[in-house]
Structure 1
Amino acid sequence: MHFAMNALESARAELTASVVQHPFLKRCRKGTIAMPVLKQLLVQQGHYSRHFTRYLCALMSNLKSTDQILALAENLFEELGLTSDSPTPHSVIYKSMLERFGLNLDTGPAPLPATLALINAMSEHCRDPNPARGLGALCLGAEALVAPVYADIMAGFASQGIGGKDMEFFRIHIECDDGHADTLRDIMVLTAEQDPAQLDIMIAAGRALARARCDFFSAIEANHFQDESILDAA
């Protein structure tokens, strides 16, 4: 157990460090990120996040243990607004946040290719009949990254004078997603105990999603700079 736990925690620290060093998040922390870029982030993140319950359900459908399914069901219930401490569906909270910025996923910018690649990568991993791939993707490549990444995003908005209820979606997930990551990690440790070969598969899945997330941030900034160039040339 100790070997698997240590390996997974080491991978978690490594991948978190690599993602938070992305220039986009550095600019958020420094308060030098532009508001139009943050708005693009909200739309593109919304396209990805709106599929989260599908990712989670796909992974749950491949788990063999009822206890493991029930453990992940807590996350699903929170997303759907079915718990006493999370009575509003997170999709509704996100939609309200977008509306406060004059944004709408259905009428706003379409997903960028890198956003679609991130969505597809997570979907494919979570649908894989081998749950190790979905576990690694959802834990190391998503839930374990939420607290530091969202904290940086909130810092970017704070530099623009925006906080409080406008950032409720990010605050909620900072508070709860470390616990979700720990639940997934515990399942991963048991998976590795039963079949040590699955450990490398889970870590590789996490790395694949961390790379896709970095590509996602790069594409948002590149799209912003491209839009600025078009306006300058007009």
Structure 2
Amino acid sequence: MDLVRHALESARVELTASVVQHSFLKRCRQGTIPMPVLKQFLVQQGHYSRHFVRYLCALMSNLKSTDQIQALAENLFEELGLTSDSPTPHSVIYKSMLERFDLSLETGPAPSPGTLALIGTMSDHCHNPNPAMGLGALCLGAEALVAPVYADIMAGFASHGIGGQDMDFFRMHIECDDGHADTLCDIMVLTAEQDLAQLDIMIAAGGALARARMDFFSAIEAAHHQDKSVLDAA
């Protein structure tokens, strides 16, 4: 068990280090990220995250253990606003945040190719009959990245004087998603103990999602550069 946990933790550290070196997040930390780029992020992230319940349910449907399903159900209930400490659906909180920036998923930009690729990659992994694929994707490629990535995002907004309630969605997930990652990690350890070959599958899945996430950031930056070029040409 210790060797499995060590391997998963090493993978988490490596993938996190890779993602946070992306230029988008670097500029957030440095306070040089333009506000239009952050607004593009909010919309594209919204397109991706609105499917999170579907990702989670797909993974849960492939788990063999009732105990494991119940453990992940706690995360699901939080997302749906069905717990005492999380009484509002996260989708509603995100929509409210978008409205404060005069943004909307319905009237704003459609999902970019990078966003569609991220959605497709996560969905494919979570729907795979082998739950190791979804576990690695959701844990190493998503929940374990939330705290460092969202902290950088908040730093980017802070450089424009934005914080407080406007950042509640990100702050809330920084506080709770480490716990979700721990729950997923416990299931991953048990999965690898039963079949060690699944360890490499889970780590590879996390890597696939980390790469898709970096492509997602690159697409946001590319869209901003394209928009800026059009304006400059006009």
TM-score by length of 1: 1.00
* Corresponding position of 2:142: 142
The count of corresponding residues between Structure 1 and Structure 2 is 234
Distance in structure 2 (CA, Å) of the matches to 1:203 and 1:18: 14
SS for the counterpart of 1:17 is helix
* Corresponding position of 2:115: 115
Distance in structure 2 (CA, Å) of the matches to 1:38 and 1:104: 14
What's the CA shift for 1:39? 0.1
SS for the counterpart of 1:86 is coil
Is 1:29 aligned to 2:19, yes or no?
Answer: no
SS for the counterpart of 1:108 is coil
Matches within 5 A, 1:70-81: 70-81=70-81
What's the CA shift for 1:209? 0.2
Distance in structure 2 (CA, Å) of the matches to 1:162 and 1:55: 31
What's the CA shift for 1:69? 0.2
Q: Percent identity?
A: 85
SS for the counterpart of 1:81 is coil
Distance in structure 2 (CA, Å) of the matches to 1:91 and 1:164: 19
CA-to-aligned-CA distance 1:2-40 (integer Å, 9 cap, x gap): 111100000000000000011100000010000000000
* Corresponding position of 2:98: 98
Distance in structure 2 (CA, Å) of the matches to 1:144 and 1:65: 22
Distance in structure 2 (CA, Å) of the matches to 1:216 and 1:204: 18
CA-to-aligned-CA distance 1:31-90 (integer Å, 9 cap, x gap): 000000000000000000000000000000000000000000000000000011100000
CA-to-aligned-CA distance 1:169-190 (integer Å, 9 cap, x gap): 1000000000000000000000
CA-to-aligned-CA distance 1:125-153 (integer Å, 9 cap, x gap): 00000000000000000000000000000
Paired residue type of 2:84: S
Distance in structure 2 (CA, Å) of the matches to 1:78 and 1:147: 17
CA-to-aligned-CA distance 1:71-127 (integer Å, 9 cap, x gap): 000000000000111000000000000000000001100000010000000000000
SS for the counterpart of 2:93 is helix
Gaps of 5+ in 2: none
Is 1:214 aligned to 2:219, yes or no?
Answer: no
Paired residue type of 1:129: P
What stretches of structure 1 move > 3 A for 4+ residues in a row? none
SS for the counterpart of 1:87 is coil
Is 1:13 aligned to 2:13, yes or no?
Answer: yes
* Corresponding position of 2:152: 152
Gaps of 5+ in 1: none
Distance in structure 2 (CA, Å) of the matches to 1:152 and 1:233: 32
Paired residue type of 1:204: A
* Corresponding position of 1:131: 131
Distance in structure 1 (CA, Å) of the matches to 2:180 and 2:11: 17
TM-score by length of 2: 1.00
Distance in structure 2 (CA, Å) of the matches to 1:21 and 1:181: 21
Is 1:185 aligned to 2:185, yes or no?
Answer: yes
Paired residue type of 2:117: A
CA RMSD between the two structures? 0.4
* Corresponding position of 2:233: 233
Distance in structure 1 (CA, Å) of the matches to 2:86 and 2:93: 11
